Amino acid sequence: MEIDALHMRYGDTVAVDGLSMTVERGTITAVLGPNGAGKTTTLETCEGFRAPQQGTVRVLGLDPTRQRRELLPRIGVMLQSGGAWSGVRAVEMLEHIASLHAHPLPVPMLVERMGLGECGRTPYRRLSGGQQQRLGLAMAIVGRPELVFVDEPTAGMDVAARRTTWDILGELKTDGVTIVLTTHYLEEAERLADQVHVIDHGTLVASGSPFELTRARGQATIRLVVTEPFPPEAPRSLSATLGPATEVQEINPQSLLITGPADASTLAKVSAWCEEQGVLPESLSLGQRTLEDVFLQMTGREFTP
């Protein structure tokens, strides 16, 4: 799948601004980004719901808008929410979607694997959020697609259901299915994805494997939270103290994110600086960079689902 210089706007709002990215077959790709970053618009363009206003999109070698009828049987789509009649029973809905495909998966097997057995006869409107999500994923994969788009697959699921879903996504990949997922759970992206694309304001701000994004530069993250707001020039003065190998970002008036070499000397300099500024650290934590930190560094804001 290839997206090249995609531009999409609604009225005066630019949703996607020159986005380019590639997804390799047989991989799991996670698209991360805050609300309104353009993730859903991008997915919907790949699914053929919207025509690109500028730029090109090719999915499985096809144009998703002009060759939509050819493309649709080959892809599976999981919507973020909804997608069923309110009075339809869970298994009935899955059987209906299966009947639209040529070689669907056996529905009883999928019902069992997705843990939908106990709610199979429940009308859609009475399913829990997690059950609706599991049914949504089941509908996306029942037609044995080559490529699956999943929008927030585990939102609203409990821990056990999330684990089952991760297992199934992993098994799909092993069996040769390409998966593109958007997620709010950074842990999910870190655990599942071969490739992560971070999107903000409609453009790609970072791309790579979770490993490349979090560890490549041998860097660690120090979070410093203090009891009183920092003096105005604090980030700049700390940055000067630590030298050019380190990056300092102000997250809010009482917390800083320091990205740099994970060594004792950095820590010592940070505590010395606190003493000199007369600020009292409330917490000082050192850890491997997580995708959350990458996200923070790239977009300059906390990741809020």
Partner 1 sequence: MSGTFTPAPGAAPFLRQVRSQASMESRLLLRNGEQLLLAVVIPVLVLVGGVAAADRIGLTFDHRAVDVLTPGVLALAVMSTSFTSLAIATGFERRYGLLKRLGASPLPRTGLLLGKVVSLLGVQVLQTVVIGSTALVLGWQPGGGVTGALVAVVGAILGTLAFASLGLALAGTLRAEATLAAANLVYLLLLTGGGVVLPRSTYGAAGGLLQLLPSAALGDALRAALLDGAVDGSAFLVLLGWALVGSALAARFFKWE
Q: Residues interacting with partner 1, by CB under 8 A? A: 47, 49, 69, 72-75, 77, 79, 81-88, 92, 96-97, 99-103, 105, 109, 139, 141, 143-146, 171-172, 174-177
Choose among 131, 130, 172, 175: nearest CA to 148: 172
Q: Which is nearer to partner 1, 12 or 175 (CB)?
A: 175
Q: Which is nearer to partner 1, 9 or 68 (CB)?
A: 68
Q: Which is nearer to partner 1, 144 or 191 (CB)?
A: 144
Tokens representing 84 are 């069923």
Contact between 249 and 300 (Cβ < 8 Å): yes
In the complex, the smallest distance separating the C-beta of residue 79 from partner 1, rounded to whole angstroms, is 6
Tell me the C-alpha to C-alpha distance, in Å, between residue 137 and each of 22, 78, 118, 122, 166: 23, 6, 17, 17, 11
In the complex, the smallest distance separating the C-beta of residue 78 from partner 1, rounded to whole angstroms, is 9
In the complex, the smallest distance separating the C-beta of residue 295 from partner 1, rounded to whole angstroms, is 28
- Round to whole Å and give the CA distance between 42 and 50: 9
Tokens representing 113 are 């694997």
Residue 80, Cα to own-chain centre: how many angstroms?
Answer: 13
In the complex, the smallest distance separating the C-beta of residue 104 from partner 1, rounded to whole angstroms, is 8
Q: Which is nearer to partner 1, 113 or 184 (CB)?
A: 113
Amino acid identity, position 38: G
- Round to whole Å and give the CA distance between 21 and 234: 37
In the complex, the smallest distance separating the C-beta of residue 207 from partner 1, rounded to whole angstroms, is 26
Q: Which is nearer to partner 1, 132 or 246 (CB)?
A: 132
In the complex, the smallest distance separating the C-beta of residue 76 from partner 1, rounded to whole angstroms, is 8
**Angle of CA points 240, 244, 248, to nearest 5°:** 65
Q: Which is nearer to partner 1, 112 or 276 (CB)?
A: 112
39-49 core/surface letters (b: 16 or more CB in 10 A; e: else): bbbbbbbbbbe
